[in-house]
């Protein structure tokens, strides 16, 4: 079977050389900022910066495009729900007694303010989704394990996390093998509609689940035979050291979070009406 490496970024950059603890700090700060901001403008700019950063460090465009295609139906549903039904919360955020009508179907009104709030939630979701490959795909899995252990994360949790990340590429390879086998039997998936494709991919779930269960049982036997205890006091082949650059970046992002919070409550930067009304 082909060997897969979770580190999909092929480009060596300044960001890939950072310690995983630094990247984890960046991810936590960006996520907190995304949750703090209610403005679709501020949220959109943050999403754009995170997506642009992912592309600059080497995350593939096809990967981000696949995420957008997969999330598009859910985003449209969310936009419709917020536009039609999120009335009281948007009135509270804007201070208005009546909302601006964007679309009217029968007696139901889709408001401009509700649609903008839906856009803000979409941007929050995309920011949190795009920050994951920016952090995970630019870090070698072995160094990630060492960094988490040095960050005082219980080693058993680190081991479960690393085992999960190692399992995903194997499952992706097996699903590709099943699809290729069906193509060899004359199944033209490319010519099928979305509904038929969904049915074909649904049939893959059963063998994948069975294979995953088989691998987990084998892993359990191997760990028992090696008397795995989860003791963090062990030696590591790889090393993870925080440098001056890592400390500087972590300090800057913590300061950035504090500045964002102060500006949010003091000047209203990032609140829902910001740059809109």
Tally the domains of the chain: 2
Which of 1-5, 79-83, 175-179, 184-188 is the least confident region?
A: 1-5
Q: Which residue has the tokens 């049982």?
A: 217
Sign of the C-alpha dihedral computed for residues 229, 235, 238 and 243 taken in this order: positive
Name, of 42-46, 89-93, 132-136, 147-151, the range with top average pLDDT: 42-46
Residue 30, pLDDT > 70, answer: yes
| pLDDT band (50, 70, 90) for residue 108 | confident
What's the rounded mean pLDDT across residues 220-235? 66
* Whole-number Å distance between alpha carbons of 150 and 240: 8
Print burial letters for 202-216: b (CB count within 10 Å at least 16), e (below 16).
Answer: eebeeeeeeeeeebe
What's the rounded mean pLDDT across residues 86-95? 85
Task: Clarify whether residues 110 and 121 are in a common domain.
Answer: yes
Task: Clarify whether residues 62 and 198 are in a common domain.
Answer: no
Instruction: Give a yes or no: residue 204 inside a domain.
Output: yes
Task: Clarify whether residues 262 and 196 are in a common domain.
Answer: no
What's the rounded mean pLDDT across residues 165-185? 74
Give the structural domain span for 224: 141-228
Residue 1, pLDDT > 60, answer: no
Q: Report the pLDDT value the prediction gives residue 4, as an integer from 0 to 100.
A: 41
Q: Which residue has the tokens 């949750």?
A: 35
Q: What is the mean pLDDT of the chain?
A: 82
What's the rounded mean pLDDT across residues 181-207? 72
Task: Clarify whether residues 65 and 145 are in a common domain.
Answer: no
Task: Clarify whether residues 33 and 134 are in a common domain.
Answer: yes
Q: Which two tokens stand for residue 118?
A: 């839906």
Which of 46-55, 68-77, 95-104, 182-191 is the least confident region?
A: 182-191
| pLDDT band (50, 70, 90) for residue 244 | very high
Q: Report the pLDDT value the prediction gives residue 227, as an integer from 0 to 100.
A: 62
Instruction: Give a yes or no: residue 90 inside a domain.
Output: yes
Residue 106, pLDDT > 80, answer: no
Q: Which two tokens stand for residue 149?
A: 């252990």
Task: Clarify whether residues 85 and 172 are in a common domain.
Answer: no
pTM, 2 dp: 0.78
Q: Report the pLDDT value the prediction gives residue 12, as an integer from 0 to 100.
A: 78
Residue 174, pLDDT > 50, answer: yes
| pLDDT band (50, 70, 90) for residue 234 | low
């Amino acid at each position: 079977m082909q060997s897969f490496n979770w580190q999909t970024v092929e480009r060596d950059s300044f960001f890939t050389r950072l310690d995983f603890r630094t990247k984890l700090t960046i991810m936590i700060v960006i996520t907190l900022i995304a949750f703090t901001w209610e403005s679709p403008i501020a949220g959109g700019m943050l999403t754009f910066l995170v997506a642009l950063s992912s592309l600059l460090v080497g995350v593939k465009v096809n990967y981000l495009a696949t995420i957008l295609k997969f999330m598009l139906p859910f985003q449209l549903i969310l936009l419709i729900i917020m536009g039609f039904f999120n009335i009281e919360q948007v009135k509270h955020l804007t201070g208005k007694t009546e909302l601006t009508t964007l679309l009217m179907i029968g007696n139901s009104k889709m408001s401009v303010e509700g649609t903008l709030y839906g856009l803000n939630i979409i941007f929050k979701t995309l920011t949190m989704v795009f920050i994951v490959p920016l952090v995970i795909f630019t870090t070698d899995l072995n160094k990630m394990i060492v960094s988490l252990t040095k960050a005082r994360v219980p080693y058993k949790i680190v081991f479960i996390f690393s085992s999960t990340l190692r399992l995903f590429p194997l499952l992706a390879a097996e699903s590709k093998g099943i699809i290729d086998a069906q193509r060899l039997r004359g199944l033209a998936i490319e010519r099928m509609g979305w509904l038929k494709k969904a049915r074909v991919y649904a049939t893959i779930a059963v063998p994948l689940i069975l294979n995953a269960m088989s691998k987990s049982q084998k892993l359990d036997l191997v760990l028992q035979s090696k008397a795995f205890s989860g003791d963090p006091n062990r030696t590591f082949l790889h090393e993870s050291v925080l440098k001056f650059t890592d400390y500087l970046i972590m300090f800057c992002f913590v300061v950035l979070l504090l500045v964002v919070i102060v500006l949010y409550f003091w000047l209203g930067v990032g609140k829902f009406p910001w740059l809109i009304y």
